[in-house]
Structure 1
Amino acid sequence: MNIKDFQEQLIEYSKEIGIDKIGFTTADPFIQLKERLKLQKKLNYQSGFESDDVDARTDAKKILSEAQSIISIALAYPNKMAGAPQSKKGETRGIFCRSSWGEDYHRVLKRKLVELEAYILLHLPNSKVQSMVDTGELVDRAVAERAGIGWSGKNCSIITPEFGSYVYLGEIITSIPFSPSTPIEDQCGECTKCIDVCPTGAIVGPGQLNAKHCVSFLTQTKEMIPLEFRERIGNRIYGCDSCQTICPKNKGLDFHLHEEMEPDPETVKPLLRSLLNVSNREFKTKYGYLSGSWRGKNPIQRNAIIALAHFKDESAVDELKQLVKQDPRPVIRGTAVWAISKIEGEKSKSYLENCLLTENDDIVMEEIKNAIDNF
């Protein structure tokens, strides 16, 4: 079969199965990316969630030896929610970021990639294919940029002319020598709004992120969130959208093209107090289908406690004190101590002094002492 004709057929098929954008690039190594990743590692800017194998992250042939091309796909996701519940006194709510609305995007994209793979193998049965979404070795954004899906914005997101940066990305490495697409020229210009608005200053320069300071990363860690960042997290219980919502290229864009991506308002804007004592089973039942559930309930509960402090929600103090008294997890107890001190202020001093008499974990004791010293 003529590869050029098949490439056109594949593009048409991708539209039929609901892929919003498709592009192609060679399997050549990503030389510049490799240098950037080495610099990130040297500066200790990596999150730790990514693969440590820089060669595999920048060379498709390390993953599939017969690789000749990479197919990049994008699916647009919604950024506005109908019927979103609002926080009110005694009923404060957290928020999952937009990339955790609806069904876990890894599953959604994987299904599309599997359909593409099947179509390829039906017509070219001797070809080799290997797909990945986010958790694979290759850097999705680098592939998408070179495949003409969009340009890499200063906020480190791929920005497409059609859908802005609200797109999920995935790719297929293949042995088929497809013609590469034309990359899109950077259209950010002199704009620095995403850098200016970043809550923690994690975007240290155009296209350079200190992932360890990024709110999205911080909400996914399992340890105590550093004191300097807690108040900047606000009511975010998973992820952060600030550098996207401020972007002029996203203004007026909102796409509802995939039913499985539509958010359930009560799930993605949950009542914070409902999260404090949720069991593992309850968490999996209600939130397990979201991409934001991948780290389990512990980080979400910790973030909910921080959000309650953000709102100074006095109705939660008794429950927070119960956590300090009974919860076996030092991170939860320590965060609850901090939240109580923020909500009640100096009024909580005698309570915290009493806690110091019974607490024996270093993390929690340090939180208690810091809170008392700050009064």
Structure 2
Amino acid sequence: MNTPLLKVENLTKHFPLSAGILDKNIPLVRAVENVSFTVSAGETLCIVGESGCGKSTIARLLMRLSEPTSGRVLIDGTDIAGLKKGSLRAWRRRMQMVFQDPYSSLNPRLTAERIIIEPVENFERLNRRQRKALATDLLRKVGMSPEMMDRLPSELSGGQRQRLGIARALALRPSLIIADEAVSALDVSVQAQILNLLLDLQQQMGIAYIVISHDLAVVQHIGHRVAVMYLGRIVELAACDALFAKPVHPYTEALIAAAPIPDPTRVRLEPPVEGEVPSPINPPSGCAFHPRCPLAVERCRIEVPRLVPTADGRFVACHVRAPLEPKPSMSIQGNPTWPHTTSVALL
């Protein structure tokens, strides 16, 4: 089996809340708890879940914008979670990020050319001709005219700004791009254009993506594998088609059932999941989903379920639905080859 491009092992992030100087029992926000997964070259892993489940925190941890409490983040076998600032600099080129808000993630005082060139000039010197050539090439790659090179972000539409953000991410020729809700602020027609662009770039350049989204329609079209998170933990990890065809974890079932159906003549028969998401400051004992789960048994209230393989090859953290013990031959890893041939049309 090929070595994965990215391997995350037991990644954990706790945020201490403010307390008195003499208080030794400082409460913690348990944002991410023992998360593990892999991403292969050319693969798209989607991370989904309700707001506050830890999706964006994982993105920040992978980019080292936040420091992990514990765990490892390995790129080609090197643990970047433990690297110091000087050693980490060289690895910054390998991963880039496309942020959710195309309005605030771009410097309003820089032209499109300067926005694209700025990350490159952090690592190498370019003369004026090289800067123009690089900016022109990247703008064309993301479907923008080189004539927009001298425009400020305020002179661009939302879709053009997001394309510019993608061009900036591509400037350092990364192996992995993390897209955190990269299309959620855009119109539906523009969403489809951006998603098709990401698919085309993946085919041309072999880039791996981690796509963080709450929109299951986006995930279903662009993803190869899906990790479903609940209160800081992965509860199900499966191939995209298999997960949407037959979800196993009760929370995954509830999440898919809650997605709106774009057909006014159809009515969902499944009742919505009841209750509120528990606080990450004081999570429930055992399985965090058990207060809202219709299948919960006594073991769910006592013991935290492990992410273990099921008979069909997915991984599920559920005492009722996935009672199998992990096998040494199985790992949380996907197929290294992912052919994508279709474009996205969101309705």
Q: Give yes or no for TM over 0.5.
A: no
Q: When you count helix as a share of all residues, which structure comes out higher?
A: 1
TM-score, normalised relative to structure 2: 0.25
TM-score, normalised relative to structure 1: 0.24
Give the greater-gyration-radius structure (CA).
Answer: 1
